Amino acid sequence: MPRGQNQEGHVLIRAGVLLFLLGLLTGLLAPVLENRRMVLSSHLEGVLNGIFLVLVGLVWPRLNLPARWLRIALAAALVGTYTNWATTLAAAALGAGERLMPIAGAGFRGRAAEEALIAVGLGTLTVAMITTSVLVLAGLKDPPEGATAGPR
């Protein structure tokens, strides 16, 4: 396994712990932001996406993918997870998001530009997270060269 792949895994783990912390801190914003249900969503997105990044970082050295696909997966993982947290936080702060997030955004319809911002964020994170998941799953199909199967 290339040394760079270990470093990328470490980057993902650090980014995950940071996002986990941001998710925890986001929970403290419930009393001061426009939409408390959306704050809860953002809090959970930060915490869960932080855990997801840590998990991806831990399996990263086991991925058997071409370097280009690894770069795409790394970028998609970071963009998708942070955009997920930031988009729901923006919706909470702006009082927007009802159109595309009808449960957490119920009763909170923002101006056209705010709703468009939320729509772009949701579209971006959807593509990024699906890309990440497909590439990580594909990379786990075969063990990297020289890897052992572990205890049986």
Residue 146 lies in a domain: no
**Confidence check: pLDDT of 144 > 70:** no
In a domain, 124, yes or no: yes
DSSP string, the chain: --HHHHHHHHHHHHHHHHHHHHHHHHHTTTTTSS-HHHHHHHHHHHHHHHHHHHHHHHHGGG----HHHHHHHHHHHHHHHHHHHHHHHHHHHHT--TTT-TTTTTT----HHHHHHHHHHHHHHHHHHHHHHHHHHHHTSSPPTT------
Cβ atoms within 10 Å of 97's Cβ, excluding its own:
30
* Count of structural domains within the chain: 1
Residue 59 phi, psi (nearest 5): -90, -10
Q: Is residue 151 part of a domain?
A: no
Q: How confident is the model over 57-83, as a mean pLDDT?
A: 97
For 7, residues 6+ apart whose C-beta sits below 8 A from its C-beta are none
Per-residue confidence at 22, pLDDT binned at 50, 70, 90?
Answer: very high
41 assigned to some structural domain: yes
Domain-embedded: residue 108: yes
pLDDT band at 63 (very low <50, low <70, confident <90, very high): very high
Lowest average pLDDT, out of 6-15, 24-33, 139-148, goes to 139-148
> Has residue 105 been placed in a domain?
yes
* Confidence grade of residue 34 (pLDDT, cut at 50, 70, 90): confident
Per the structure, the complete domain to which residue 56 belongs is given by 3-139
Distance separating alpha carbons of residues 18 and 102, to the nearest angstrom: 29
Residue 106 is assigned to a structural domain of this protein: yes
Q: So what's the pLDDT on residue 152? A: 44
Q: 145, 65 in Cβ contact below 8 A? A: no
pTM of this prediction? 0.87
- Whole-number pLDDT of residue 150: 54
Q: Is residue 150 part of a domain?
A: no
